[in-house]
Amino acid sequence: MTMCAGGSVDALIRSTPNRSLDETWISYICKKVLQGLDYLQELNVIHHDLKGANIMLTSTARVKIIDFGLATIGPISTSNAGTRCWMAPEVHACFTRSVHYNYKVDVWSLGITAIEMAEYNPRK
């Protein structure tokens, strides 16, 4: 297991004076998370809870996705697990009816995380 001394992206955002990251950092983190999500897709894994608190940085700025407690294995899921503010609309729909979705819900969550990195408030 890799030591993530850089802390979470969420903690990094909260530690900055204006509670946002520079665009260079946002693009770097998003690129690395997308590479990680591409690998997870190859394994048919849907993370379900991607957000700043579940993206860690090592002391050398390597990006790691953590907390696979809600992850599912398989190309399609019907789970409504995750953190609501970062959930894709398809996942929200699972609260009222049976909806099938795929790994793309993690890409939606990354988009909300990018907003979180730029503005800190993903609930807007």
- DSSP bridge pairs for 73: 45
Contact 51, 109 (CB under 8 A): yes
Instruction: Return the pLDDT at 34.
Output: 98
**91 CB-contact burial (10 Å; exposed 0-12 / middle 13-18 / buried 19+):** buried
Active-site annotation, residues:
49
In the chain, where the domains are located? 7-119
pLDDT digits (tens, 9 = 90+) for 6-27: 899 999 999 998 889 999 999 9
Q: What is the number of other CB atoms lying within 10 angstroms of the CB of residue 41?
A: 16
Count CA atoms within 13 Å of residue 55 on its CB side. 30
Helix (H) or strand (E) holding 54: none
Q: What is the number of other CB atoms lying within 10 angstroms of the CB of residue 20?
A: 16
pLDDT digits (tens, 9 = 90+) for 28-63: 999 999 999 999 999 999 999 999 999 999 999 999
pLDDT digits (tens, 9 = 90+) for 66-121: 999 999 999 888 778 888 788 887 886 777 777 888 899 999 999 999 999 999 77
Instruction: Return the pLDDT at 122.
Output: 58
Contact 86, 112 (CB under 8 A): yes
What homologous superfamily does CATH list for 7-119?
Transferase(Phosphotransferase) domain 1 (1.10.510.10)
